[in-house]
């Protein structure tokens, strides 16, 4: 009987945590592109021979609320893109056109109407030659070929936002 009570309590506890985890930001990633409303990859650094980066966010349980992607470079706000959440599950993304000289640490904070941070992610925007040197070193050490590189087109359009 004691075992059944413990099992029941465990199930209730787990169910409660699952429900809590579903409200808010379910996923947030930097990516080099969006395909069929999903990120094509997940990156933590980008070389400055790439001119655009996307920030994807999946929101759950916030229908009727507004969230904002706040783009920061070295801690200073560069852009803010607001989204009205239109359903219980809502996927949004914003993009940033990057100048090759904007080397540094970038971050996007996902904030709600009250300014509360729901999620935050960061990436390093690095010189292309720095990345090439790292790849050469790792190739020499592992003696393996590099696979999975992304060939990305550089759109000339200004920063944009898209909602589901």
Which of the four pLDDT bands, split at 50, 70 and 90, describes residue 22?
Answer: low
Q: Tell me if 126 is assigned to some domain.
A: yes
Neighbours of 54 (CB within 10 A): 20
Q: Tell me if 155 is assigned to some domain.
A: yes
Q: Tell me if 143 is assigned to some domain.
A: yes
Q: Tell me if 95 is assigned to some domain.
A: yes
pLDDT tens for 65-97 read: 999 999 999 999 999 999 999 999 999 999 999
Q: Tell me if 17 is assigned to some domain.
A: no
**What rounded mean pLDDT belongs to the chain?**
79
pLDDT exceeds cutoff 50 at 38 = yes
Neighbours of 134 (CB within 10 A): 12
pLDDT tens for 127-147 read: 998 665 565 554 444 443 333
Q: What is the pLDDT of residue 154?
A: 33
Domain with 67 in it = 25-163
pLDDT tens for 99-109 read: 999 999 999 99
pLDDT tens for 107-129 read: 999 999 999 999 999 999 999 98
Contacts of 19 (CB under 8 A, 6+ apart): none
Q: What is the pLDDT of residue 28?
A: 98
Q: What is the pLDDT of residue 129?
A: 86
- The secondary structure of 100-132 as a DSSP string is TT--EEEEEEEE-TT--EEEEEEEEEE-HHHHH
Q: Tell me if 4 is assigned to some domain.
A: no
The segment with the largest mean pLDDT, out of 6-10, 19-23, 153-157, is 19-23
Number of domains in the chain: 1
Q: Tell me if 12 is assigned to some domain.
A: no
| pTM strictly above 0.75 | no
pLDDT exceeds cutoff 90 at 157 = no
Q: What is the pLDDT of residue 164?
A: 45
If phi over 0 gives left and psi between -120 and 50 gives alpha, with beta otherwise, what is residue 64? left
Which tokens is 63 given?
A: 């229908």
CATH classification of the domain holding 51:
2.60.40.1930
Q: Which residue has the higher pLDDT, 45 or 161?
A: 45
Q: Tell me if 16 is assigned to some domain.
A: no
């Amino acid at each position: 009987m004691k075992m059944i009570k413990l099992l029941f309590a465990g199930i209730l506890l787990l169910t409660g945590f699952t429900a809590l985890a579903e409200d808010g930001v379910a996923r947030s990633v930097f990516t080099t592109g969006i395909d069929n409303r999903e990120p094509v990859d997940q990156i933590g650094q980008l070389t400055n021979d790439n001119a655009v980066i996307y920030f994807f966010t999946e929101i759950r349980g916030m229908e009727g609320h507004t969230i904002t992607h706040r783009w920061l470079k070295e801690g200073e706000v560069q852009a803010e893109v607001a989204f009205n959440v239109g359903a219980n599950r809502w996927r949004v993304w914003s993009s940033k056109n990057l100048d090759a000289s904007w080397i540094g640490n970038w971050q996007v904070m996902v904030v709600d109407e009250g300014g509360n941070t729901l999620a935050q992610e960061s990436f390093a925007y690095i010189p292309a030659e720095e990345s090439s040197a790292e790849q050469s070193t790792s190739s020499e050490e592992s003696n393996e070929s590099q696979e999975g590189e992304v060939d990305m087109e550089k759109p000339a359009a200004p920063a944009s936002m898209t909602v589901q």
